């Protein structure tokens, strides 16, 4: 069958509504962690006279515990998804029905109890945020693996995953727009000072969360109504032991998951971006200026990957983008060193930041397509289709990698670079030596570049491409057709 006459499984609208669903979920899940931290720290128990040091330490522990709960839930939910057999499919019920408790629990995270007891306040933070994390996992993880079920045709599902990944990455920043618009409307309705007073009580966060919750319901329902799982699930029940084994023993799946671990240091640039803005570009206000071109680059890169994937395999695309990413970061380093840390660096730095952002499109899209291919391979080998666990395994590795990044970034910044802290109450940021400034630039460019190269290493051992992939897809099609008959 030629490309032009190839059977299409998905309606065009389904590709869009899959993306809309992920956009809605990302709108809320992208909003929650940062703004919950802000809410807990600054607003939830304002004026209660609680010890601020104890509270800030406890908030860190709350997020640490939630991270562990999230990692465990990834596997548990993956296992449960793979054992779900309903007339609507295995993933849709989790998303379509789970989104209601998710929206409600998210809202209640921002409704703190009126208590003067610090212990009660701390327990509430642990309980409510852990509950949110669990329910979030029960919706987000299945939604992410829907791509593997939307079409049996790998090229069709690749396009769907690319577009959905793009909309998801847009959704992750949607909360910033929501709070901006909520602020403008509140100012117009209440007046400037009254808005400031309400903002001081965290009420703009409450309303913005309400809107994000409504957003997730609206967009997820559009997805739930319009989208359909098109890859039939296998009937065998999977034991927990076998399920966990899949994550660590399927070579290709393990290689894709390992990209997260070997590339964990890619994200350390985020730790140092504020200092790059202050010391290299001259103003801390330029931090947003730094992140915006990179964010736009990421969005463009997400679309670009879709085109590259039409010409190259997933393996080639991943390696190509990784090499490009490392090169762009190296060029940014060399240009910065060439121009020097002065006003003349700002424009070239911001432009190059856009080009550095393009590589992130690859890490947003390609691994998701690879995992979908791995699910085919696992089904081909074992007769069991395990989307839930395949994506859960990748999610687990992502969470571990994220913990490593959070540890490495501050160590590089505050220990390795020799960063000097201001001890003068009137001077916010102390002057730094040239050696330290150079190291700050390296943390933003060269060090992530090394990890971008390292993330590509496991992919050299990935072989679910080309003829092997085509044969497996063909065999699965035939097997399913035989089962239908």
Partner 1 sequence: MSNKEKGFNFKLYGIITFISVAAILAVVCVTTFGAKYMAFHPERLAEFYVDTIVQTGDGYNAYKNTLVSKNMKYGDFIRKNYIDPAVNRDGNDCSDHSFKGEKTLSDDGTLSGKLIAQMYPVYGELLNTYGWDDYDSIFTKYIEKLLTVREEIFGDKFFNDEVFFTAFEANVSAYGKSLTGTDEVYDENSGVKLSDKTTGIYAEKFGEDYKITCETVSFKEGYADGYLMNADTDVLTFYGVDAGTVESVATAVVNVNVNGTKLAECEVSLVKIGMSWYVDNLNTDTEMLYSFYK
Does 270 help bind partner 1 (rule: CB under 8 A)? no
Does 343 help bind partner 1 (rule: CB under 8 A)? no
What's 115's DSSP letter? -
Residue of 37, 72, 228, 270 interacting with partner 1 (CB under 8 A): 228
Closest to partner 1 by CB, 428 vs 482, is 428
Does residue 89 sit in helix, strand or coil?
strand
Closest CA to 128 of 101, 94, 95, 96: 101
Q: In this chain, which stretch among 188-196, 295-303, 379-387, 446-454 interacts with partner 1, using CB under 8 A?
A: 188-196
Does 191 help bind partner 1 (rule: CB under 8 A)? yes
- Using the Cα atoms of residue 367, residue 266, residue 299 and residue 165 in order, give the sign of their dihedral: positive
Closest to partner 1 by CB, 109 vs 472, is 109
Tell me how far apart the 2 most distant CA atoms of the chain are, in Å. Answer: 79
DSSP string, 131-197: HHHHHHHHHHHHHHGGGGTS-SSHHHHHHHHHHHHHHHHHHHTHHHHHHHHHHHHHHHHH-HHHHHH
String marking each residue 415-434 x if it binds partner 1 according to CB under 8 A: ----x-x-xxxxxx--x---
* Number of residues in contact with partner 1 under rule CB under 8 A: 48
Q: In this chain, which stretch among 24-32, 97-105, 135-143, 432-440 interacts with partner 1, using CB under 8 A?
A: 97-105
Does 233 help bind partner 1 (rule: CB under 8 A)? no
Backbone angles phi, psi at 89, to 5 degrees: 120, -170
Q: How far is the CB of 178 from partner 1 (least distance, A)?
A: 13
**CA–CA separation, 408 and 385 (whole Å):** 37
Q: How far is the CB of 367 from partner 1 (least distance, A)?
A: 28
**CA–CA separation, 130 and 142 (whole Å):** 19
- Using the Cα atoms of residue 30, residue 34, residue 40 and residue 44 in order, give the sign of their dihedral: negative
Closest to partner 1 by CB, 33 vs 210, is 210
Does 184 help bind partner 1 (rule: CB under 8 A)? no
String marking each residue 106-145 x if it binds partner 1 according to CB under 8 A: -xx-xx--x-------------------------------
Contact of 251 with 30, CB cutoff 8 Å? no
Residue of 37, 65, 123, 198 interacting with partner 1 (CB under 8 A): 198
**CA–CA separation, 375 and 472 (whole Å):** 11
Q: Residue 457 is encoded by which pair of tokens? A: 């290493």
Closest to partner 1 by CB, 123 vs 190, is 190
Q: How far is the CB of 191 from partner 1 (least distance, A)?
A: 7
Does 100 help bind partner 1 (rule: CB under 8 A)? yes
Does 196 help bind partner 1 (rule: CB under 8 A)? yes
Q: How far is the CB of 190 from partner 1 (least distance, A)?
A: 8
Q: How far is the CB of 376 from partner 1 (least distance, A)?
A: 23
Helices (H), 227-311: 240-249, 251-262, 269-275, 286-311
CA-to-CA dists, residue 403 to 63, 296, 396, angstroms: 11, 26, 11
What's 86's DSSP letter? B
CA-to-CA dists, residue 266 to 360, 365, 422, 454, angstroms: 10, 16, 28, 9
Q: In this chain, which stretch among 67-75, 115-123, 220-228, 331-339 interacts with partner 1, using CB under 8 A?
A: 220-228
Closest to partner 1 by CB, 152 vs 393, is 152
Helix (H) or strand (E) holding 327: helix 314-339
Q: How far is the CB of 456 from partner 1 (least distance, A)?
A: 33
Closest to partner 1 by CB, 28 vs 280, is 28
**CA–CA separation, 180 and 195 (whole Å):** 13
Residue of 54, 61, 68, 104 interacting with partner 1 (CB under 8 A): 104
Contact of 313 with 465, CB cutoff 8 Å? yes
Closest to partner 1 by CB, 1 vs 428, is 428
Does 185 help bind partner 1 (rule: CB under 8 A)? no
Closest to partner 1 by CB, 197 vs 239, is 197
Q: How far is the CB of 244 from partner 1 (least distance, A)?
A: 32
**CA–CA separation, 464 and 251 (whole Å):** 10
Does 179 help bind partner 1 (rule: CB under 8 A)? no
Does 61 help bind partner 1 (rule: CB under 8 A)? no
Closest CA to 217 of 100, 344, 70, 60: 100
Q: How far is the CB of 341 from partner 1 (least distance, A)?
A: 16
Q: Which residue has the tokens 């957003």?
A: 215
Residue of 210, 270, 282, 348 interacting with partner 1 (CB under 8 A): 210
Does residue 36 sit in helix, strand or coil?
helix
Neighbours of 343 (CB within 10 A): 9
Interacting residues with partner 1 (CB under 8 A): 87-88, 96, 100, 103-104, 107-108, 110-111, 114, 190-194, 196-198, 201-203, 206-207, 210, 213-214, 217-218, 221-222, 224-228, 410, 413-414, 419, 421, 423-428, 431
């Amino acid at each position: 069958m030629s490309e032009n006459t190839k059977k299409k499984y998905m309606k065009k609208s389904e590709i869009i509504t899959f993306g809309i669903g992920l956009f809605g979920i990302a709108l809320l899940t992208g909003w929650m962690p940062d703004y919950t931290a802000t809410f807990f720290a600054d607003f939830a128990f304002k004026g209660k006279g609680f010890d601020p040091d104890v509270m800030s330490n406890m908030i860190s522990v709350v997020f640490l515990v939630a991270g562990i709960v999230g990692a465990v839930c990834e596997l548990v939910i993956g296992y449960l998804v793979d054992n779900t057999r309903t007339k609507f499919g295995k993933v849709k019920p989790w998303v379509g029905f789970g989104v209601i408790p998710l929206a409600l629990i998210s809202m209640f995270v921002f409704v703190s109890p009126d208590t003067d007891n610090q212990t009660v306040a701390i327990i509430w933070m642990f309980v409510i945020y852990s509950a949110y994390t669990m329910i979030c996992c029960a919706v987000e993880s299945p939604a992410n693996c829907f791509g593997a079920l939307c079409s049996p045709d790998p090229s069709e599902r690749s396009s769907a995953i690319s577009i959905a990944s793009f909309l998801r990455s847009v959704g992750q920043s949607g909360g910033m727009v929501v709070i901006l618009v909520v602020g403008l409307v509140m100012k117009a309705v209440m007046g400037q000072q009254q808005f400031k007073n309400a903002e001081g009580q965290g009420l703009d966060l409450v309303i913005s969360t309400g809107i994000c919750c409504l957003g997730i319901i609206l967009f997820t329902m559009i997805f739930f109504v319009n989208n359909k799982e098109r890859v039939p699930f296998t009937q065998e029940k999977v034991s927990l032991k076998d399920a966990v084994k899949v994550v660590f023993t399927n070579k290709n799946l393990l290689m894709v998951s390992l990209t997260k671990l070997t590339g964990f240091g890619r994200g350390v640039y985020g730790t140092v971006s504020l200092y790059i803005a202050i010391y290299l570009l001259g103003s801390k206000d330029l931090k947003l200026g730094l992140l915006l071109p990179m964010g736009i680059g990421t969005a463009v890169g997400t679309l670009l990957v879709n085109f590259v994937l039409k010409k190259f395999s997933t393996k080639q695309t991943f390696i190509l983008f990784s090499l490009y990413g490392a090169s762009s970061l190296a060029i940014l380093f060399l240009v910065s060193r060439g121009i020097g840390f002065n006003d003349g660096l700002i424009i070239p730095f911001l432009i190059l930041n856009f080009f550095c952002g393009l590589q992130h499109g690859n890490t947003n899209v390609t691994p998701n397509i690879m995992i979908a291919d791995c699910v085919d391979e696992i089904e081909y080998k074992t007769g069991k289709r395990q989307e839930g666990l395949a994506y859960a395994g990748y999610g687990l590795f992502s969470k571990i990698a994220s913990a490593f990044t959070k540890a490495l970034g501050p160590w590089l910044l505050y220990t390795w670079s020799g960063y000097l802290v201001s001890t003068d109450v009137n001077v916010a940021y102390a002057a730094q030596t040239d050696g330290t400034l150079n190291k700050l630039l390296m943390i933003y460019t060269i060090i992530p570049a090394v990890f971008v190269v390292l993330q590509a290493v496991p992919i050299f051992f990935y072989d679910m491409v080309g003829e092997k992939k085509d044969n497996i897809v063909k065999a699965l099609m035939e097997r399913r057709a035989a089962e239908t008959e």
